[in-house]
């Protein structure tokens, strides 16, 4: 009996020893070794030579969990849920498509109440909507509704913050819990956390917001828009700094940044680290602490030197002379410098983790920007150096296209927002990402016309097709004598002799009827007479008689030879998206008369081609 107990004890002891040696790691994971639990959770390296780490960060700083003034992830999530109570909204669940079936896509803006505050930026947004082709003054026809209450600035410390928005919108009979409503916002939250709190319940409304956080963004429902200043132009806007299809010279700087450095609070971590990549040669990273009321209270040892270096460089000069521009997050995810870099053809290097980029549903930002990671800042210089020069040029060209097409004015930003929503209503007739990201862009290549790339002259090269090999000559006759003059007869003979001419149409814009067919010259191609009015725009009507892609527009007094017509057509076939013609002009600004003028004098640059003798695509 004693021997049996002895064997049982030895077997039990051996089992524990085997478990200890081969299963110790598993035991530690279950917390049996509590004295090492804290060390395993924060396994930072123990540097023997702290001077190696001194220039980057203090070891105590690395061991800390961040700024204690910032909310915890759980608090941030609770704040998001309080704002986006309908976080599962999609077009299929929170949008009434039936309102858009009868009248199509129509947009109604609420009438502005008396003495209702309105910021300059929101006034521009409302004006853009009223100028759009979708606007309707009748709410019964509307598919989408826009509030007249200014919701752009929801920082309650701002002077433009509108109070009691919840009470006001609930009193609107058309509100309907926010369904089929679009709300614009540029600033949300306030110091110190800058959460996405708007101060009112948006319900089931679509939110078009700047600095959109990806975890709050409802894909296929909300729209991320760029942050723009109150000085952003209403219409038109300045063109990009890089001329289209031109090759920029080699820039002086590779990578630049000049901006504020936040000493405390959200956004301070990224900007405080930017000085590490500054080399004073081809990489210039300048920050200043000198902003805000109490910056001296929080200033650190670098502030004085940073402030001096900051004044040595001009911001506009850096934009002009750099290939890449760092666009770090500020207090919020977006910043004004994003649009500034686009316009300057300075490729944006984005350091704003979690930012839903503007119009990312339609725009392929991988062709125009470098998306970095805030935690991998030190890898950015080597990453941009590795980008091939050909790809750099493609990036720069794309920044100019995107700026001119979607961001250079408030009108374009608002109209892009509306077009994206409209595409969602009819997915089978929506624009492809190719249309959005290729000249002339989604605002001009309308799906109402066609969704087939071959129907657009802009995409022949990419589509692997080309325009038809014949053209239609369209001659506009407006002679006061209302008779067949010698110039028009010679013109018909010259054009009909072209090997590329398929037909000739004569727009007879005289009060008297056209001469009988026997009076017209005999041609080798069909000759058709169309009765028209004495308006210049008549030549651009979509006449069903035109069966070719190319149209040669001619005035009756134009003098051309057959060889000139052939040469012009061959040139046009290489550039079917452009006007190719003979009479040219150059426009200029007349400082004395303070107005635009044009001249026919020969210069090195031409800016106008007249349609008195020109080829263009019928579409």
Q: Which pLDDT score is estimated for 245?
A: 53
- Reference 359, options 250, 474, 212; nearest CA is 212
> CA angle, corner 408, sides to 416 and 396, nearest 5?
100
With left for phi above 0 and alpha for psi between -120 and 50, is residue 306 left, alpha or beta? alpha
Task: Sheet with 580-581: list strands edge to edge.
Answer: 527-531, 501-508, 471-477, 550-555, 613-617, 580-581
Going along 219-288, which residue ranges are E strands? 223-224, 253-260, 283-288
Question: What does the pLDDT read at residue 238?
Answer: 87
Q: What DSSP element (H or E) covers 71?
A: none
Euclidean distance between CA atoms 415 and 134, whole angstroms: 10
473 and 505 Cβ atoms separated by less than 8 Å: yes
pLDDT of residue 81: 53
Cis peptide before 368 (omega within 30 of 0): no
Query: Same topology for domains 253-355+363-398 and 471-617, yes or no?
Result: no
Q: Does the predicted TM-score (pTM) go above 0.85?
A: no
Q: What is the DSSP letter of 274?
A: G
Q: What is the pLDDT of residue 403?
A: 96
Count other Cβ atoms within 10 Å, centred on residue 420: 19
CA angle 153, 158, 164 (to 5 degrees): 65
> To 10 degrees, what angle do helices 562-574 and 486-496 make?
60
Q: In the prediction, which pLDDT does 19 show?
A: 66
- The fourth-level CATH superfamily of domain 253-355+363-398 is Glycogen Phosphorylase B; (3.40.50.2000)
Q: Give me the residue spans of the domains in the chain.
A: 84-237+409-450, 253-355+363-398, 471-617
- State whether the Cα torsion 317-318-324-328 is positive or negative: negative
Interval 462-517: pLDDT, tens: 777 888 899 999 988 876 556 677 888 899 999 999 999 999 988 887 777 777 77
Q: What is the pLDDT of residue 244?
A: 54
| pLDDT of res. 189 | 76
Closest CA to 124 of 444, 419, 338, 412: 412
In this prediction, the residues of the chain whose per-residue pLDDT falls under 50 are: 27-69
What is the CATH topology of the domain spanning 471-617?
Spore Coat Polysaccharide Biosynthesis Protein SpsA; Chain A (3.90.550)
Residue 210, both tokens: 């700047």
Whole-number Cα distances in Å, 470 to 319, 475, 502, 509, 549: 47, 16, 6, 26, 8
| Per-residue pLDDT, 341 | 95
Provide the pLDDT for residue 338.
95
In this prediction, residue 43 carries a pLDDT of 41
Instruction: Give strand pairing partners of 589.
Output: 596
Q: In what order do the strands lie in the sheet with 584-590?
A: 595-599, 584-590, 608-609
Peptide bond into 39 cis (omega under 30): no
Quick one: pLDDT at residue 51?
44
SS3 state at 527: strand
CA–CA separation, 342 and 168 (whole Å): 38
In whole angstroms, give the CA distance from residue 115 to residue 415: 28
What are the pLDDT digits (tens) for 189-217?
Answer: 776 667 778 889 999 999 999 999 999 99
Q: Considering only CA atoms, which of 368, 448, 420, 149 is closest in space to residue 412?
A: 420
Phi, psi of 279, deg, nearest 5? -120, -5
């Amino acid at each position: 009996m004693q021997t049996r107990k002895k064997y049982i004890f030895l077997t039990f002891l051996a089992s524990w020893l085997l478990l200890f040696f081969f299963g110790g790691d598993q035991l530690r994971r279950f917390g049996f070794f509590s004295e090492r639990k804290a060390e395993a959770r924060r396994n930072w390296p123990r540097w023997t030579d702290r001077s190696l780490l001194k220039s980057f960060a203090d070891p105590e700083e690395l061991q800390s969990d961040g700024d204690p003034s910032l909310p915890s992830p759980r608090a941030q999530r609770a704040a998001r849920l309080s704002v986006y109570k309908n976080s599962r909204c999609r077009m299929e669940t929170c949008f009434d498509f039936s309102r858009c079936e009868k009248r199509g896509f129509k947009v109604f803006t609420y009438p502005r109440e008396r003495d209702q505050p309105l910021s300059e930026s929101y006034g521009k947004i409302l004006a853009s909507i009223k100028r759009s082709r979708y606007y309707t003054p009748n709410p019964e026809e509307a598919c989408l509704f826009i509030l007249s209450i200014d919701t752009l600035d929801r920082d309650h410390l701002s002077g433009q913050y509108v109070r009691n928005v919840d009470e006001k919108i609930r009193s609107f009979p058309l509100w309907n819990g926010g369904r089929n409503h679009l709300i614009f916002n540029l600033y949300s939250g306030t110091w110190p956390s800058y959460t996405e709190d708007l101060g009112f319940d948006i319900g089931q409304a679509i939110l078009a917001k700047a600095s959109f956080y990806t975890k709050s963004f409802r894909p296929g429902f909300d729209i991320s828009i760029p942050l723009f200043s109150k000085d952003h132009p209403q219409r038109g806007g300045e063109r990009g700094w890089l001329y289209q299809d031109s090759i920029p010279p080699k820039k002086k700087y590779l990578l630049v940044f000049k901006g504020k450095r936040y000493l405390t609070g959200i956004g301070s971590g990224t900007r405080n680290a930017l000085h590490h990549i500054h080399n004073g040669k081809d990489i210039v990273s300048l920050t200043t602490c000198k902003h805000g009321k109490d910056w001296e209270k929080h200033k650190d040892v670098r502030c004085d030197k940073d402030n001096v270096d900051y004044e040595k460089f001009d911001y506009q000069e850096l934009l002009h002379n750099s290939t890449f521009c760092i666009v770090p997050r500020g207090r919020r995810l977006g910043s004004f410098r994003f649009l500034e870099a686009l316009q300057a053809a300075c490729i944006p290097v984005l350091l704003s983790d979690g930012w839903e980029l503007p119009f990312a549903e339609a725009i392929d930002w991988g062709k125009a920007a470098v998306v970095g990671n805030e935690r991998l800042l030190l890898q950015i210089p080597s990453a941009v150096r590795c980008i091939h020069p050909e790809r750099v040029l493609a990036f720069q060209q794309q920044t100019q296209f995107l700026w001119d097409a979607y961001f250079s004015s408030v009108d374009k930003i608002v109209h892009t927002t509306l077009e994206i929503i409209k595409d969602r209503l009819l997915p089978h007739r929506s624009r492809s990402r190719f249309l959005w990201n290729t000249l002339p862009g989604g605002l001009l290549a309308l799906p109402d016309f066609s969704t087939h790339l071959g129907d657009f002259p802009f995409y022949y090269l990419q589509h692997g097709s080309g325009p038809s090999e014949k053209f239609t000559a369209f001659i506009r006759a407006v002679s006061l004598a209302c008779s067949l003059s010698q110039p028009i007869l010679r013109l018909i003979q010259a054009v009909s002799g072209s090997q590329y001419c398929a037909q000739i149409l004569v727009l007879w814009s005289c009060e008297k009827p056209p001469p009988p067919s026997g009076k017209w010259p005999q041609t080798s191609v069909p000759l058709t007479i169309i009765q028209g009015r004495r308006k210049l725009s008549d030549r651009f009507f979509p006449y069903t008689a035109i069966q070719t892609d190319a149209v040669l527009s001619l005035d009756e007094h134009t003098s051309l030879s057959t060889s000139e017509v052939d040469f012009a057509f061959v040139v046009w076939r290489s550039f079917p998206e452009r006007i190719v013609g003979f009479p040219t002009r150059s426009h200029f600004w007349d400082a004395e008369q303070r107005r635009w003028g044009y001249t026919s004098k020969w210069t090195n640059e031409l800016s106008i081609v007249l349609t008195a003798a020109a080829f263009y695509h019928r579409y």
